[in-house]
Amino acid sequence: MKKILFFCAVVMLLGLTACNKQQSVPETPQGPAFDEVLMTRRSIRSYDATKTISKEEVRQLLAAVQEAPSWANQQPTKYYVAISDEKLEAVQNAIYGNKDRVEGAPVLIVSTYERGKSGFFRGQPTNEIGDGWGAYDNGLSNCYLVLKARAMGFDTLIMGMRDGDALRSIFNIPAEETVMAVISLGYRDQEPNQPEHRPLDEVVKFF
């Protein structure tokens, strides 16, 4: 009888332990693996014009981008989002030859950074790079943007060919901000080729 009671107690204890383990691991929605995001992100130059992206989705994307690191957490990067037909057309007219490449993209984002923040201490540049650190931080933010966009199923193209003065006028961008890139956001309408990369030993040196 004692053996039976002991056996029942063990079974009950194991059952409670298993139950607790199941409760301690909540189920969460899984996105794509990070390596998959890296391998499938491409600079897309042709978009599916039948697919749209909502303002709420863009807000979700840019909220994640705020996690990007910056000099002393200065967060100098700003984004101006063209999502209305009027603003989309205006930005398209300011990106020269890239206009045809991103015509089907439902969102165009202008990336800027505030000068005199990153790379400065008490108003003075910390080293010879100066405001170059603002551009550096802007690049980090844009990197987060294109990777998060891909994780959400979107595609991007970072464009440096643009009329900075025209973009400043379109969005009333303050004079203390440097206009950097225009980034298209949409859905690819065909699979791009994978570009070749330089051998690792050409870009990495171990000492």
- 42 in a structural domain: yes
- 85 in a structural domain: yes
- 171 in a structural domain: yes
The whole-number pLDDT of residue 92 equals: 98
- Residue in the structure block whose two tokens are 């807000």: 59
- 141 in a structural domain: yes
The whole-number pLDDT of residue 21 equals: 38
CATH of residue 67's domain is 3.40.109.10
- 76 in a structural domain: yes
| Total domains present in the chain | 1
SS (H, E, C) the chain: CHHHHHHHHHHHHHHHHHHHHHHCCCCCCCCCCHHHHHHHCCECCCECCCCCCCHHHHHHHHHHHCCCCCHHHCCCEEEEEECCHHHHHHHHCCCHHHCCCCCCCCEEEEEEEECCCCCEECCEECCCCCCHHHHHHHHHHHHHHHHHHHHCCCEEEEECCCCHHHHHHHHCCCCCEEEEEEEEEECECCCCCCCCCCCHHHHCCCC
- 3 in a structural domain: no
Which residues lie below 8 Å from residue 188, measured CB to CB, with a gap of 6+?
42, 44, 46, 47, 48, 155
Domain that holds residue 140: 34-186
Q: Structure pTM?
A: 0.85
The whole-number pLDDT of residue 9 equals: 44
Do 109 and 167 meet the contact criterion of CB atoms below 8 Å apart? no
The whole-number pLDDT of residue 79 equals: 98
Q: What is the CA radius of gyration of the chain?
A: 24
Do 138 and 71 meet the contact criterion of CB atoms below 8 Å apart? no
- 162 in a structural domain: yes
The series of mean pLDDT values per 10 residues for the chain, 207 residues long, is 44 42 46 93 97 98 98 98 98 97 97 98 96 98 98 98 98 98 97 92 97
The whole-number pLDDT of residue 29 equals: 63
